[in-house]
Each structure stands twice: as C-alpha cells, then as structure tokens.
Amino acid sequence: MKPFALLEELPSLEAQADTQRPSAVLTLAWQLRQRDSARALALCERLESGPVASASTRVERARRDLVVAECLWLRGSLDGAQQRLTDAHALLAEEPDDLTQGDAWWLAALMANGRGERAEADRLLDDALACHRRAADPLRVAADLALKAFCLAFHDPARASETLDQLGMQAGESLAHPAVQAWREAARSALPAAQANLTEVLSGYMRAHGAALDSGQLRLAIAAAVNVGSSFDDMNDLGAALQWKERALTLARQADWPPVIGSCMAQLANSLRALGRVDAARGLLEQALPLLEEGSRNQGIALVYSGNVALDLGAPEDAVHWYGVAEQAWNRLGSAHGQVAALSGLARAHAALGQREQALTLQVRAMAQAEGVGLQPEQVKLLQLRAELLGEHDEAAQTCLLQALALARRVGGLRVPPELLEAVAAGQARLGDTAQAYALMAEAAQARRQRQDLDADRRAMALQVWQETERLRQEADTQSQLREAQAQHVAAVEQAHERLQWLGEIGRDVTARADVGTLFGSLFGHLRRRLGVESLQVWAGAQTEGEVVFCAGPPVAAKADAAATLSLPLQQGDRTLGSMRLTRSARAVQAGAPEWDAPARDLLHGVAAYAAIAWANVQMLAALRGTQAELMEKNAELERLATTDRLTGLPNRRWLETVLEREHALAVRLQRPYTVVLVDVDRFKQVNDVHGHAAGDAVLQALGALLSARMRASDQAGRWGGEEFLVVCPGTALAQALPLAEHLRERMAEAEVEPVGHFTASFGVACWRVGESTADLLERADRALYAAKRAGRNRVEADS
C-alpha cells in the first residue's frame, strides 16, 4: 500500500473500491485520510461494522486504526487519536509488519511535532526509518528523511542540513515524488540559513504547497500556504499575504479540522492587523484560541498575535499578559523563533507602559536570540525598537536605525519598510544631511506604493488603476516629503492616503469575485457605505442600448439630478466593456456626503478601472470554463469512437484488449478464473458472395445485437475482427461458460436476417490457466473455434 497516492491515481482507487473488496476500500480510506477525512472515517466504519470485520487480519485492522487515528488527530480529538494509535501498536505487536509499524511511528512523530515535542518526534522518526528500511520501501525512507529534516530545522539546523544531504544521496524515483518533495522544500525553507533570502523561502514554500496537494498531504499544504503568506508579510506585500492565508483557511474549513482552522484564523488575523483592521483581527483571534491544541506551536503563535493586537488597541497591560504567557509557552517548546517574538513583544509592551529600562533589557535578550538563529527580519525590527526606546535625540538611536537599514537592504527579497526609511530620513535631516534625507523620503514613498500593490499576477492590469489615481498619489508623496508644510497640506496627504487605502480594499475585494452578480454587489456595498450611493446600474456595451447586467437600489428617474448622478465607462485598455451609473440618495446629500467633486470623480474612475479589470476576469473565466467543458465533451466522444465498432455498435478490438489486460491482472493477483469465447459466423464469405456485402453487414449487426441482449451484465462482448467476435467472462470457470456459449449458439440459430434467412456461428471456449498469458489463452480459444468448424460448424467446442 503506497504511503501517498497522487491525484491522477485516485480514479483507479475509486474504481477498485467500487468492487466492495475490503482491501480496496481500506486502500481508498488510507489515501483519503487527509484529502477527505469524513469519507475516510465513513469507509473505516463500514469496514468495522460489515460482515468482513471479523475476517480482517491484524495488520489490516492496524492500518484501519491508523486511518481513524490520523483523522481524529486532524479534527482535534487528541485522546481518541492516541487511543487508536495505541490499538494499532498492540495489533502489530501480535502480528508484526514493518511497513505498517513504520507508518504508525510516522503518525506518532507528526503528532509529537505538532505538540512541539521536537526530540520525541526525532526519536519516533528514527523508529519509522528503521522499519521502512527493513521493509525495503525507498519512497517511505525518503519521506522519513524529508520529514525528519523539517522537524530538525526548527531546533537543530546543522543536523537538518546533514539530513537533507543524506536525502539528496537517495537514488531512484523516490526523491522526485511529490510526497518527498513537499517535505524537502518545506525543510529547506525553514532552515535559518534560508531566511536571508526571502524570495527563495517564498518559492520553496510555494513548491511545497503544490507538491503536498498533489500527494494528498493537505495539512502540509495548508501549513505551506500559511508560510507563503507569512513570507509575504515579511516582504511587506500584505495583499499577497492576505490572499495566501485566506487560501489556507478555505482549505482548512473544507477539511473541517478545528485546530488547523484555528491556526489559519490566527495567521489571517496577523495580516488583517498589518492592514489596519485591528478589531477584525481581535475577533478572529478570540475565535481561534479555543480551537488550538494546548501547548502547541500554533497556540504559541496565536498568543504572540494576541499581544500584538492588544498593543495596537492601546492596552499594554493586556499585551504584557499575552506576551508573558507566550514566552512561557515557547520556552517549554524550546523554540528560539517563538522566544524572539515573545520577548520583542514584551519589550514593546513595557515601553508603552513607560518602563524604558526593562524594555531595553528585553530588547537585548530578544536581539541575542535573533542573532543566534539568524532571524534577520526580526533583527531589523529589534534595531528599530531600540532606536525608539533610546529616543530620536540620542545619537545611538540613529546608529541603530542605520544598522537596521543596512541589514534590511542585505536580506534578499525583503522590502525595506517605509517607516524605517522615514525614521532614518528624519535623523539625517536633524544631522543636516538634507540631500540624503530627501532621497530616503523618496524611497519611502516608493516603498509605500509597493506595499499597496496587488499580487504580481495582477500588477500589469492594475497599471490602469494607478494611472487614473496618479494625481492623488503624487499629492500624497509630495506632502509626506514636506513635513514642514502647513497643516492643511498634511491633512490633504492623510485624506489622499485614506482614499487610496479604500481604493485598494475595493480592488482586492472585487477582483476576487467569480461572477458578475457578486462582483457588482460587493462594489455597491462599498459605494453605499462610503459615498451614500443609493442605486447602481451596470450595462454591457453602450448605456442607451446595452444589456442591463446588474441593478441594485430603487429605479433611477429619467431626469435625475445631475449633481446626484454619475456615469462612468468600464474600460480595459482600448476595450469598452460597458458603463455604470451611480446615484446618491437625497438623505446622503442632506447629511453632507461629499459632492461629485474632482477628487471624488478621480477616485471613482479608479473604482471603475478595478471593476472593469474584475469584469474582464469574470468573462475570461467563463470563457475558459466553457472551452474546458466543450473539450471534455469532445474528448469523451473521441474516446467512445476510438473504442467502438461503427458497424455493430459493440466495443472494438482496442477496447477488448484493454478488458483482457485488466481481467488478466486481476486473475493473476487474485488467482481467480476467467474465460474467453470466440464466435465466428459460419460461411460468411458465401453470404457476401451470394447476397452482397450489405447482407453480410446486416448479419454482423444482428449478431452484435444478439450478443448485447443475451450477455450477462458482468460479461464484455465486442467485435474482434471481420466476422469474428470475442466474449470475456470475468470470474467464470469453463463449466459455467459452456452453457452460456451454447445458449448464444441456439439463439443465433433461431435468428433470421433478410435476405439471408437463418445463419449460424461456431464457438471456441477457453478458460485461463495459472501462469498462462492472454496470447496463449486466445490461441487455445482459436484452436477450439476451428475444431468446431471442422466438426461441422454451428457447434461449441472447448479447449480444456
């Protein structure tokens, strides 16, 4: 039984399970344990309660326990999972099996690693490795090494690197298998040495995500997606981070795994907090913490995030509590990464409470930990924190900021935070270096623009939006660089920045929609809340003659007040998709909602650009789906034509050869018989010579129809070639097949075809013998057929 089946192998496993054979059902349950835990549990329950339960071997029952244990663990039923794992060990003690025992140690190692018990996970993986080596299973051995390297990466990077080197020396196809590649890429990305190049970390986790999905390791796929999002967080690409973490949460919810859902919610909360949506982040964390396993790494992460949110909400006392609990948790887990996060948070919280010396002491401890494990992005943040604690007028503070900037520039793939650039610029300005200050402020403005960009795949399409709003962006950049300007200029910058944030939020929302209704419905909600828009109408093509594709709110009067109504084109490049018309409510006007002034119009042109991009995406998606459906239909028709005889409508020789290969493989594996029957029309050449080929075709069609009508449901009949037909009888011995052949012969002799009249056929029957090939079997059936011909035709002969 393979440890991990690929997606392309699942249809075959499903087909085998349809036979209701217990071994096939158990195999399918094993491969669905993470792809579809609920179904895997249902299949195991059926095996445990069915008539075959008592007939199962101990090894089969142990394998069933492993499936149930893994499903329960993923759902958060830790006691139940541990009990089923213990039951599996007990069964394997009575009937040893290295393959299954190794898989049991593998699952135990995963559970231990999830609890943060690194040493225990390491020991259990050594046990799994020993079992799988004795079982001579190279794929499992490679997967053991890859998982071991991943677990070691967090507490013993030197041994993790050695294990990866050992894995790299593995020969054969195992190293390239997605199941191994997933853990290998995750391990490489988790190594502290890789953290210096965030781009490579990002690529590694993306590859791990894809390989894990392909090999059915959904838990790893979710963790890799979260890590991709966290890498984007470190690179200050918050839009991409949000997208990847939402993908992880969607997968976790589909799987219905509460602990994993809680972990994903905590990670998503962290990105929402970075986007300024702190209340939403707090709500997610409150939902996440009860779902997380006590004492797990994920709980430690969520505790740190709760401290961050408390700080943002102006509650440093609460933050000290959360960070303190988090530090204790990470100390128990022995994770330097977690300790750095908790200590950094404690330093910030004490600083917020005015406890400067205590904060500086905590910063030093956190910095030592970060340097010890090579966490360069954290070192940048800690240097910034120290500068804040020292105060802007302390020369040492500017030194810390310059060190942070230099380090940030060295980290591959890291976007230098604009706040750091602005802080260094302010310090240089105080020192009188205005040229350097101006250059740094320009770089900071550029960094802020990059932070608000969408993911790389949509940046090209987003250019249109940024062109529409360029005036607002330039105004914001200019004002942020001139801090000495008047207060009204500063206010204008803040307003422009807020508008751009709102525009970015709309863009992320609408471009994620998959149909026109939800796209413009979401847009209408944003416009109603922000601008008091009462109605929204969207046309495809020209407004006066185009089709209305969306309408929300009360109908708009033909002569609506121009001050309250605004029409905007929906264009993508040179292509006009349609137009939309907005109408503000009278109540909004009376309440002082903004007029359709020039800034508002510019902003709404940006909204229209996003809407056009999203609409074009929806149209392209619909077109692709239609094309895909059409291709699937054509492929199905081609497959049918390629395997069907046009004259008789029966399967052709190509299909019959596939059936023979399948039945032969089953016969060899299960040692069960199968029989073939060759049928040949008697004196067919005479029929063609006397009555013509059309009459001959009619005889063949009649014979095909008779075979279709008279065959058993389990048998497969088809045209073998010319006037010869073949019947394959699965699981049928010779004694059972002979009456079937005789019955067919009698029915054929009774049949009548104009203008031929009655016609007959001869039959050759042979049953498979152990060790015999399909070619030998067909040759014996052919000999029996010719024996029937020599004996006077219209007979059934068997080669026994």
Question: Which residues form the catalytic set?
Answer: 723
Phi, psi at 413, each rounded to 5°: 85, -5
Exposed, middle or buried, 797 (CB in 10 Å: 0-12/13-18/19+)? buried
Q: List the beta bridge partners of residue 681.
A: 761
SS3 427: helix
Which residue's entry shows tokens 């010719």?
Answer: 786
Distance CA 471, CA 459 (A): 19
CB atoms within 10 A of CB 667: 20
Going 554 to 560 to 562 to 566, the CA torsion angle's sign is positive
SS3 766: strand
Q: List the beta bridge partners of residue 799.
A: 766
Whole-angstrom Cα Rg for the chain? 36
Exposed, middle or buried, 76 (CB in 10 Å: 0-12/13-18/19+)? middle
Cis peptide upstream of residue 755 (ω within 30 degrees of 0):
yes
602's tokens = 């510019």
Q: For residue 51, what are the contacts with CB-CB under 8 A and spacing of at least 6?
A: none
Q: Distances in Å between the alpha carbon of 260 and those of 242, 248, 256, 270, 271?
A: 17, 9, 9, 16, 17
- CA-based nearest residue to 96, from 55, 134, 46, 69: 134
- CA-based nearest residue to 329, from 338, 341, 320, 321: 338
Exposed, middle or buried, 379 (CB in 10 Å: 0-12/13-18/19+)? buried
| 612 close to 577: Cβ distance less than 8 angstroms | yes
| 316 close to 310: Cβ distance less than 8 angstroms | yes
332, 333, 334, 336: CA torsion to nearest 10: -120
| 766 close to 777: Cβ distance less than 8 angstroms | yes
Which helix (H) or strand (E) is 660 found in, with range? helix 653-670
- CA-based nearest residue to 781, from 722, 752, 741, 753: 741
Distance CA 62, CA 766 (A): 41
- CA-based nearest residue to 328, from 304, 353, 292: 304
Beta-carbon-side half-sphere exposure of residue 530 (alpha carbons within 13 Å): 19
- CA-based nearest residue to 440, from 429, 455, 451, 452: 429
Distance CA 307, CA 322 (A): 5
Exposed, middle or buried, 730 (CB in 10 Å: 0-12/13-18/19+)? middle
DSSP string of 674-686, one letter each residue: EEEEEEEETTHHH
Phi, psi at 78, each rounded to 5°: -70, -40
Distance CA 672, CA 661 (A): 14
3-state helix, strand, coil in the chain (%, to 5): 70, 10, 20
CA angle, 480 as apex, 478 and 484 as ends, to 5°?
Answer: 95
